[in-house]
Each structure stands twice: as C-alpha cells, then as structure tokens.
Amino acid sequence: MSDAFSFDLARQDVSHALSTVSSVCAQVKLDTLLLHPAPLVTTTPEGRRRVETLASFLDAAYGYRLHDDRLTRYAPSAGARYPTEVVTVARVDGRWRCAIFDFAERIFHEAADDRPGRDVAAFLGLEPDAAFIGAISVLWRTVQRYGMRGHRYCIVDAACVVSNLVELARDAGDDPVCIGPARCAAATRLMDLPASAPVVAGVRLDLARMEPPGDPRPDPGDALARLVVREETPAMSPLLKRVELFHARASLEAAEADYRPPAVSAPVRPPRLWAARRHSMKEGLAAPLPERTETDLIGHLWALVAQPPAPGRVRLSFAYLRFSGTRRLEEAWRYDASGAAAVTILRDADCEEIAERCFEGQGVIRAAASLVLVGPGRDDLSGHGAYLDACHQVGFAIPEFYRIAVALGISSTAIGGYSWNALSDYLLLPDFYPLMAHAFGRPSRPGGKQDTDAWQSHALAPGAAPGSRNPKSSSRRSS
C-alpha cells in the first residue's frame, strides 16, 4: 500500500474528522443532472413497450416500498440516503435515447439532444436491442452526512442496485454483462454528467430477451408525494471535491474489462420477491440462530466467496463472528476461497464493547446473533483502482447476503458504520480489510432507526412539504 493510498484510506475511517456523521438530512433533487432534460416521449407502440419494460425493471429493482410503516426501497442504502439514480441508454423509435428515470414520478427525463445516447451506445458497442443502465451516485446525498467514507457507501449502494437488476434480468432470460468501472467513468463524461454525480456501476441488458416482471407495482402510498425537497449539491464543497478527486483517481486506475458478477447463492423465486420481503434488523431480539440455520448461512456465504471473480478482479473473503446467548463473542472464523476456516481470535470480548469500540455504538450490533465482515485481504488492496474494484465486489455481495437471509427466514442489515482500525486491532485481523459488515439475526420487531426516521420525518409527516407534488395527481407518465 503506497503512502498516498494509506493516507486516503485513513481519511475514510469513522474516527477521522473528515468522516464524522453530521446531522444534515436533506435530499438532493435529480432533475438538474442532465442538461435541459425533457420528458421522454415515444410515438410508436414498440417504443412504448420498450420504455414500459425498462420502467418495470427499474421499479422492481429499486422502486419505493412501504415496509413496516417506513418508506424504503428495494435496495438498501446507508442511512436511507439513497444516493443512487439511474440513467439509461436505449434505442427508442429508432434513436439512441439517454434518459434518467425518476422513481417517484415513474417518468424518464431525456437529454436535450441525441448526442449523449449516440456516443454512449457507440462507445459501449450496444446492439440495437441492447440497453445500458448506469447507476449514478449523487455523491453529496451521502457525503454531506458521512464525509469521505460516504464514497464507499455510494459505490456499495450502486452495486446493490445493479445486482438487483442483474438478478431480475437473469430471471427474465437474459445474460447481462456489468460494465467495468473505468468504462463507467468514460460513459459519465460522454453524458456530460458532473463529477459530483458520476456513473459508478452499470449493466448491459438485451431487451429483446426480456419480458417485464409481471407482478403489479406495490403502492407506496401518498408518502412519495412529499419526497421532493429543493436542496441542491453545493457548487463548491471542499469535502465533496476531495471525494470527486478520489473517485476520479480510483476510476482511472480501475479495471477496464466488463464482467459477469457471481450467480445467486440462495435463489428466492420469483427474484423480485426477495427485495419486497427483505427485512432489516435494527434492534430487538438478540437470540442465537438455530444451529441448522447457521450452518446453512455459512455454507451459502462461503459458496458466494468461493466463486472465482472475473479475471483480474480482487478476491473477497469473510469473517464470521458469533455471539452467545449472554452476548459474549463466542467464536470468530475467517473463511477464504479455499474454504479453509481459521479461528482468528479468541479474545474474551463482549458484544456491547465491540459495538462501542468498533461500530459507533450502533444498536444493530446488539441485536445481531452473528456478524459477517466482508472484504479483500489487505495485501490485495494495492491502490485506488483495486480499492474501487473491491468496493464493487462487496457491493454485489451485500444483496446476496440479504437474499440468503430471506431464503433462510432471518433478518439482516448491511453495516458500513465501523472503524476499520478499531476492528482490526480489537479483533486481531490485521491482514484483512473488511469493506462492509453484515448483521444476521432473528426477525426483530418492526421499526425504523434514527437515520431512516430522520430522513423520512418530513416525508411521512401529515401535510406536504412546500413545492412538492403528488405523482398520482400530476399523473405524468412515460409514453
């Protein structure tokens, strides 16, 4: 690890002043992302069918859901900030069209002219029936709250959304290909997107092979109507600039090649249901998992990391930490691709102490029956490009963890809020660099947590925010 890279990583630890949590909780509007956007209009039945297919897939992968009386989405997101937006390039009515999907209004906003769509299609070599779906990170949404480490959350968020799309597309008969991070960065430039809103992950689909997912769209209720808040990414924020530069450097050094992410380890059929059934644990019961469930869980997790990554990509491993009924750390195992499980620690540790020292005192740790840490070996993190790649791989693993939990009937929550230094020192894992943690446990009582609730308090409160519209009453739709 070079000094410059170590320096950049240190700034992303929760203990660093540039990565402390701040109480800002505003949304950032998305309709300024493309230059002079206009609603996408189609004039042919074939064009309408194509636009509707795309909208249905995007909705099923990343739409809103009302779950446990909370407005959340089909993909998890750090602090429920949802920094990911989606841009599509597809051939509609004989022209390559570049458009951003507005999930609240279920409408595509199209670029003012054909140039971005045409250029991206040519750059990616899209066949006439292919579509590119890019996950844009609106970095400020997350960075304003979490600082520099928000970058990692954004990449993981985006990969979760793309992973959902991959699953849906596979189920619909397609064999989708993910676009390498360096090519996503090039697509960002071709679309004239700002550095503060880069395409960080993407997938190429074959629309001719896909039928839209059949289930009706669940109704998230009126809460959606109040989500629109007039808060913009600041034109100049030193923190955001640092994140932009970090991302630009990482993208330049990252792998070019496209790839296929690992296949599902614990399929839930039909696949869109896993997202609807995903049940986060926030606090509550902390009973150990039944032995059989735990064996299956570890088996699925291992099957996932044992799959060879695409050539040239970082390999992941994971550590499995189990708490006893009295909330002591009972065992910690490290699993690598060879399946070898090594007991890494036997420190007499207490769950409470681990939560306080390593996880910012988060309640979700106290509710966990077990914790999984996932990431590359420290030696594999050779630099910025490898780090970005590892964040992607971990981002693809996280939704798999949720799917596995759904298949086993347990709850789970992705956790980004921990100190790597503290974890590494306290749990004696110096050669491992976990980029995410994941808690598993018994289904806990429904309910939110502070981050989610703060973000939504205005969306769910009686009375609309100023300037908000009801997507149902305005009823603008893709046509």
Ligand X SMILES: Cc1cc2nc3c(=O)[nH]c(=O)nc-3n(C[C@H](O)[C@H](O)[C@H](O)COP(=O)(O)O)c2cc1C
- Write out the two tokens for 156: 């993981």
Closest distance between ligand X and the C-beta of residue 416, in Å? 3
Exactly one of 72, 317, 411, 478 binds ligand X (CB under 6 A); that residue is 72
Contacts made by residues 214-221, CB under 8 angstroms, sequence distance 24+ = 215/60, 215/270, 215/272, 217/56, 217/59, 217/63, 218/63, 218/65, 218/66, 218/276, 219/66, 220/63, 220/64, 220/65, 220/66, 220/71, 221/66, 221/71
Burial classification of residue 102, based on how many CB atoms lie within 10 Å of its CB (0-12 exposed, 13-18 middle, 19 or more buried)? buried
Radius of gyration of the chain measured on its C-alpha atoms: 21
Exactly one of 37, 63, 76, 220 binds ligand X (CB under 6 A); that residue is 76
User: If binding is defined by CB under 6 A, does position 78 make contact with ligand X?
Assistant: yes
418 closest CA partner among 333, 367, 337, 359: 359
User: If binding is defined by CB under 6 A, does position 416 make contact with ligand X?
Assistant: yes
Candidates 22-30, 70-78, 203-211, 335-343 — which segment interacts with ligand X by CB under 6 A?
70-78
User: If binding is defined by CB under 6 A, does position 417 make contact with ligand X?
Assistant: yes
Closest distance between ligand X and the C-beta of residue 78, in Å? 3
User: If binding is defined by CB under 6 A, does position 316 make contact with ligand X?
Assistant: no
Closest distance between ligand X and the C-beta of residue 249, in Å? 21
User: If binding is defined by CB under 6 A, does position 80 make contact with ligand X?
Assistant: yes
Candidates 6-14, 46-54, 149-157, 234-242 — which segment interacts with ligand X by CB under 6 A?
149-157
Q: Please say which residue, 11 or 145, places its beta carbon nearer to ligand X.
A: 145
Q: Please say which residue, 278 or 300, places its beta carbon nearer to ligand X.
A: 278
Candidates 78-86, 208-216, 239-247, 368-376 — which segment interacts with ligand X by CB under 6 A?
78-86
In the stretch 385-414, what mask flags binding to ligand X with x, by CB under 6 A? ----------------------------xx
How long, in residues, is the chain?
479
Candidates 10-18, 40-48, 312-320, 446-454 — which segment interacts with ligand X by CB under 6 A?
446-454
Closest distance between ligand X and the C-beta of residue 443, in Å? 12
161 closest CA partner among 85, 88, 260: 85
Burial classification of residue 217, based on how many CB atoms lie within 10 Å of its CB (0-12 exposed, 13-18 middle, 19 or more buried)? middle
Q: Please say which residue, 105 or 157, places its beta carbon nearer to ligand X.
A: 157
Q: Please say which residue, 153 or 440, places its beta carbon nearer to ligand X.
A: 153
Q: Which residues of 46-68 are buried (b: 16+ CB within 10 A; e: fewer)?
A: ebbebbebbbbbbbbbbbbbbbe
User: If binding is defined by CB under 6 A, does position 233 make contact with ligand X?
Assistant: no
User: If binding is defined by CB under 6 A, does position 452 make contact with ligand X?
Assistant: yes
- Write out the two tokens for 238: 């030193």
Closest distance between ligand X and the C-beta of residue 301, in Å? 17
71 closest CA partner among 224, 228, 273: 224
Amino acid symbol at 470: N
Q: 252 to 311, contacts with ligand X by CB under 6 A?
A: 280
* CA 459 – CA 468 distance, rounded (Å): 10
Closest distance between ligand X and the C-beta of residue 70, in Å? 7
Q: DSSP assignment, residue 147?
A: G
CB 381 within 8 A of CB 1: yes
Backbone angles phi, psi at 250, to 5 degrees: -60, -40
Exactly one of 415, 422, 435, 459 binds ligand X (CB under 6 A); that residue is 415
Candidates 8-16, 181-189, 366-374, 415-423 — which segment interacts with ligand X by CB under 6 A?
415-423
Closest distance between ligand X and the C-beta of residue 157, in Å? 5
From edge to edge, which strands make up the β-sheet containing 341-343?
Answer: 341-343, 329-335, 317-323, 370-375, 436-441, 411-415
Q: How many CA atoms lie within 13 A of 205 on its CB side?
A: 32
Exactly one of 19, 53, 56, 77 binds ligand X (CB under 6 A); that residue is 77
Closest distance between ligand X and the C-beta of residue 115, in Å? 34
In this structure, what is the dihedral angle of CA atoms 291, 297, 299, 301, given to the nearest 10 degrees? -150
Q: How many CA atoms lie within 13 A of 366 on its CB side?
A: 11
Helix or strand holding residue 294 (H, E): helix 291-306
Closest distance between ligand X and the C-beta of residue 261, in Å? 16
Q: 156 to 215, contacts with ligand X by CB under 6 A?
A: 156-157, 160
Q: What is the size of the binding site for ligand X (CB under 6 A)? A: 22
In the stretch 338-377, what mask flags binding to ligand X with x, by CB under 6 A? ------------------------x-x-------------
- Write out the two tokens for 397: 């693993």
| Parallel, antiparallel or unpaired: strands 411-415 and 370-375 | unpaired
User: If binding is defined by CB under 6 A, does position 27 make contact with ligand X?
Assistant: no
Q: Please say which residue, 131 or 354, places its beta carbon nearer to ligand X.
A: 354
Candidates 52-60, 290-298, 447-455, 465-473 — which segment interacts with ligand X by CB under 6 A?
447-455
Q: Which residues bind ligand X (CB under 6 A)?
A: 67, 72, 76-80, 153, 156-157, 160, 280, 362, 364, 413-417, 449, 451-452
